[in-house]
Amino acid sequence: MPRLTFTRAVLAISVFGLAPQYLSAEQNDTQTELTQEARVLVARFADQLKPQLKHALQAGGPAHAVGVCAETAPAIARNLGIESGWIIRRASDKNRNPAAQADTWEQARIDAFKAAALAGKTQGLEYSEQTAEGFRYAKAQLTEGLCLACHGKQLDDSTSDALHRFYPEDRARGYELGEVRGIFSLLKPAGDE
């Protein structure tokens, strides 16, 4: 009889010992799926905003593009969020829009991405993790040539005037090509995953 108890104990230890590994693999699969979803949403956001900004720049210059960015970018984020169930925003430590002020989690990602960029790593600057709030994803928003017309060091008077009209507390100027301007910040709220 003691052998049977011992055998059952070994079996129980084996089964319960495997359970956390199985859950861990399941969690990894879920995180991988959510990370992929977030990547697709960021790409869709950029694919919708960039052509409109380029068109606005061609049609009326940087001053016209400021208005498009101020109105169109939040609408794109809102619509993608409604469609997907994610909370989608852009955040920065030098925000242009007061609603884009980085929270503590976002600031940590921005700091890490800036450190990586300073070290010469600009590819694959993304991060994701499960938090108490839900699944969070961040992707660095690097300053491209298109961005410099409104975020660079040298802005013409009409652009500065437009920025002041739309963003009186603008802090998102003085960037150079390739610098981290902020992040795309996505949250899949807990319970929606």
Contact 188, 135 (CB under 8 A): yes
Tens of pLDDT, residues 153-163: 999 999 999 99
The overall longest dimension of the chain from CA atoms, in Å, is 91
Contact 135, 187 (CB under 8 A): yes
State residue 106's pLDDT score: 98
Q: What is the rounded CA–CA span in Å between residue 49 and residue 135? A: 24
89 has which bridge partners? 185
Is residue 96 scored above 90 in pLDDT? yes
Indicate whether this model's pTM tops 0.85.
no
What value does the mean pLDDT take over residues 101-118? 97
Radius of gyration of the chain (CA): 22
Q: In this predicted structure, which of 14-28, 59-73, 137-151 has the lowest mean pLDDT?
A: 14-28
Q: What is the rounded CA–CA span in Å between residue 130 and residue 94? A: 26
3-class DSSP assignment, residue 49: helix
State residue 95's pLDDT score: 95
Binned at pLDDT 50, 70 and 90, residue 118 comes out as very high
Alpha-carbon torsion (156, 158, 163, 168), positive or negative? positive
Alpha-carbon torsion (67, 109, 34, 143), positive or negative? positive
Is residue 3 scored above 70 in pLDDT? no
Is residue 4 scored above 80 in pLDDT? no
Contact 113, 183 (CB under 8 A): yes
State residue 26's pLDDT score: 63
Tens of pLDDT, residues 16-55: 333 333 435 666 788 999 999 999 999 999 999 999 999 9
